[in-house]
A and B are shown apart, each in its own frame.
Chain A
Amino acid sequence: MTARDLTRLTALQMADGLAAGEFTSVELTQAHLDRIERLNPSLNAYLLVDAEGALATAANVDAARAAGEDLPRLAGVPVAVKDIACTRGLPTTAGSRMLEHFVPPYDATIVTRLKDARMPILGKTNMDEFAMGSSTEHSAFGPTRNPWDLERIPGGSGGGSSAAVAAYLAPLAIGSDTGGSIRQPAAVTGSVGVKPTYGAVSRYGIIALASSLDQIGPCARTVADAALLHEVLAGHDPMDSTSIDAPVPPVVAAATGTRDLTGLRVGVVKEIAREGYQEGVSRCFEEALQHLRDLGAQVVEVSCPHFVHAMAAYYLIQPSEASSNLARYDAMRYGSRTTPEGSPSAEQVMAASRDAAFGDEVKRRIILGTYALSSGYYDAYYGQAQKVRTLIAGDFTAAFEQADVLVSPTTPTTAFRIGDKLDDPMAMYLNDIATIPANLAGVPGMSIPSGVADEDGLPVGFQLLAPAMEDQRLYAVGAALEARLAEAQGGYVFEKAPEIEVQA
């Protein structure tokens, strides 16, 4: 096989090929590193590439395999890590100038798990600063570009991970999803992204945006690949108090099991499925529903009346928690320090450093969150938002009595052009209208590509939602639909992406 061919395999095929001795992990890893070297200057998907570390792990796995050692399923399969996860000895920036030179002295739990699974870590992927954004344009280190069209955004905040996976710069990547940052980038890059149940994957070592909303999950090109990575990431962690102490749902079995959906009830959420969507997005959605019916599912319409307030609740809770989580970036113990002239106090140095090192979107949300929590406004804003959260969780509970999974388009539109919404924060926020309710309630969600919009030739995402701790339902339904779509459309959506033209 040529190096180019190796990167085109699914993670499952890579794992099987490694196990069968068809190629080595060093070859596989090097193939990805070569491709990164060639294409990353155009895509800016990676902020940091750790060729040395990745190859060392790969060589180690190859030696172990040669010695006949029993190895984890994904041993030797490379992975990319969003730059929101702390990696010991490797700079971790969260896409911010503030942490430009920050080198963590510890690994996030999920990074330890990747290392335990013996997966070579290719590097750290680009993201909106502190995961605030839906386009990766808010990265302090330049935007990531969409492999389908370099003039367009790859989604956000995890645009680096989604672009890396879609452009074959990695078979698998880590994402974090606070309001859609895994699912929305997956949708606009034709890849698969899963936000597991809140608490299913440890947040220890993940740079926090909004603690009660953040969740780590897999980015991949296929549902089965996502399931394999999900299984590596998930599980109880005593270092995270909100971690679920229960067995991981059987996601791999679900993703590779029956394709028959007879008897499955699929609920179309009226409030986030029918109105305000780009034409191609709506058409792909309706077609996917028909495919589900063809697979034996019963499609019903359900109503979640409070979802219309989800955006407002989200844009109070998330900035509020973020304003507190980001307070630690004061340039006293670490971070970029800016010292004004004269003999400034610690207070003045903090304020100057935070002004200099934070981007506009981060400042907007910190100020909004600080305001929402401040005395006299708490009840009207943060307190109310927490109540709306209860109502939204109640909507989910009621809806899941009528349906086994809920569905909607993942995003209102396909990938928009870089710069289009940069000066209009409200327009940017509206990208997350369908993904946010899951974060507020803590339920798992998945986006899989359902086709390409006729009008612009760009991929469209289909969102699946399941009850808390029933993540396997997403994989069962997602895999069945994915297979059906591939059959009907003559191949996977991600395979339809044009080859990237290398910039001079």
Chain B
Amino acid sequence: MSNLSRDDVAHVAMLARIQLEDHELDRLAGQLDQIVDWVGQINEVAAADVPPMSHPLPLVNVTRPDEVRPSLTQQQALANAPDPEGGRFGVPRILDEE
């Protein structure tokens, strides 16, 4: 039984912004299906009343005071940019506003 089809993998890859090539899809889809099948065993383990654990330590209310700290300079901020322009980060055309 297949949990994860080749199409599913292609779809999820696009959700993750990875443009897989066909030969990659061929290779990854089978492996992922096997892995998903295996991790799926977890479904039957925990009862509904078990609380989920998102953090290993029970810390709460860790905050900082609203005090300004030095920022990077514009030059530092843009130092690794593939396409800086006029103090800003150049990016390809954006399809639509969020």
Contact = CB atoms under 8 A, between A and B. Distances in A.
Interface string A191-222: 00000001100000000000011000000000
Interface in B1-49: 4, 8-9, 12-21, 24, 27-28, 31-32, 34-36, 38-43, 45-46
A14 to B, nearest CB: 34
A214 B55 CA distance: 11
A105 B79 contact: yes
A389 B42 contact: no
B21 A355 contact: yes
Contacts of A426: 34-35, 38
A346 B55 contact: no
B56 interface: yes
A199 B15 contact: no
A283 interface: no
A307 to B, nearest CB: 12
B50 interface: yes
A333 B76 contact: no
Interface residues of B, number: 54
A346 B64 contact: no
Contacts of B76: 105
A119 B18 CA distance: 40
Interface in A74-132: 101-103, 105-106
A371 interface: yes
Interface residues of A, number: 70
A358 interface: yes
A387 B50 contact: yes
Most chain A beta carbons < 10 A, residue from B20, B32, B42:
B42
Interface string A381-415: 10111111111010000000000000000000000
A381 B56 contact: no
B20 A371 contact: no
Contacts of B87: none
Nearest to A326: B16
A198 B57 contact: yes
B12 A374 contact: yes
22 contacts: A199-B57, A242-B57, A312-B40, A323-B16, A334-B80, A337-B82, A343-B93, A346-B95, A347-B95, A348-B92, A354-B18, A355-B19, A358-B18, A367-B28, A368-B35, A370-B12, A371-B32, A384-B45, A386-B52, A388-B42, A393-B53, A425-B31
